[in-house]
Structure 1
Amino acid sequence: MMWRALSADWLKIRGKGIWFLVFLGPVGLIAMQGLNFGLRYDYLRGQYQADLWDGLLSNIASFVPIALYLGGTLVSSLIANVEHQTSAWKQLLALPVPRTAVFMAKLLLCLLLLAVSCLLLSAGTIVLGLLLGFGVQPIPYTDVLRIGFAAYAAAMPVIALQLWLSLSSRNQTLPVSVGLTLSLLSPFGLFFSEWVPLSWPDLAWSASRPWLFSGAGLLLGLLVLFPGALHFARKDVD
Structure 2
Amino acid sequence: MKNILFVERLKLKRSNSWLLYFIGPLLGVSLAYINFFKNYDLFMQPGENAWIEVWTQVALFMGPFVLPILVGIYSALICRGEHVGGGWKQLLALPVKHSDIFLGKFLTVVRMVTITMLILLIFFIGVGYITGIEGNLPLFTILGYIIKGIITCLPLILLQLIISIKAKTFGIPLAISIVFTLPAIIVASTPLGQIYPWTQPMLAMSPEDESPIQSYFLFYTLLSGTFIILLVYGLKSFSTRDTY
Report TM bin, short chain: 0.7 to 0.9
User: Could you tell me how far 1:212 is from its partner in structure 2?
Assistant: 5.3
Higher mean C-alpha deviation, range 105-114 or range 11-20: 11-20
- The answer to whether the Cα contact below 8 Å between 1:153 and 1:215 also exists between their aligned partners in 2 is no
Higher mean C-alpha deviation, range 192-201 or range 26-35: 192-201
Q: 1:219, 1:111 → 2: CA distance? A: 18
Q: 1:48, 1:93 → 2: CA distance? A: 60
Give yes or no for the alignment of 1:160 onto 2:158: yes
- The answer to whether the Cα contact below 8 Å between 1:151 and 1:201 also exists between their aligned partners in 2 is yes
The one-character-per-residue Cα deviations of 1:48-92 (angstroms, maximum 9, x if unpaired) are 773111211111111122222101101100110021124222122
User: Could you tell me how far 1:41 is from its partner in structure 2?
Assistant: 7.9
Q: 1:41, 1:184 → 2: CA distance? A: 24
User: Which residue of 224, 238, 242 corresponds with 1:232?
Assistant: 238
Distance 1:180 1:133, change over 3 A: same
Instruction: Tell me what 1:203 maps to.
Output: 203
Q: 2:46, 2:116 → 1: CA distance? A: 27
Q: How large is the RMSD of aligned CA atoms in angstroms?
A: 2.4
User: Percent of pairs identical after alignment?
Assistant: 26
Instruction: Tell me what 2:128 maps to.
Output: 129
Distance 1:93 1:130, change over 3 A: same
Higher mean C-alpha deviation, range 188-197 or range 70-79: 188-197
Give yes or no for the alignment of 1:56 onto 2:90: no
Q: 2:164, 2:46 → 1: CA distance? A: 42
TM normalised by structure 1 equals 0.87
Instruction: Tell me what 2:15 maps to.
Output: 16
Q: 2:216, 2:22 → 1: CA distance? A: 26
The one-character-per-residue Cα deviations of 1:20-64 (angstroms, maximum 9, x if unpaired) are 1222111111222344456x3864685577311121111111112
Q: What is the number of residues matched between the two proteins?
A: 235
Instruction: Tell me what 1:149 maps to.
Output: 147
Distance 1:156 1:211, change over 3 A: farther
Instruction: Tell me what 2:78 maps to.
Output: 79
Q: 1:93, 1:48 → 2: CA distance? A: 60
Distance 1:48 1:128, change over 3 A: farther
- The answer to whether the Cα contact below 8 Å between 1:69 and 1:158 also exists between their aligned partners in 2 is yes
Distance 1:79 1:173, change over 3 A: same
Q: Which runs of 5+ in 2 are unaligned?
A: none
TM normalised by structure 2 equals 0.85
User: What is the one-letter code of the residue matched to 1:164?
Assistant: I
Distance 1:71 1:11, change over 3 A: same
Q: Which runs of 5+ in 1 are unaligned?
A: none
Higher mean C-alpha deviation, range 136-145 or range 4-13: 136-145
Q: 1:23, 1:125 → 2: CA distance? A: 12
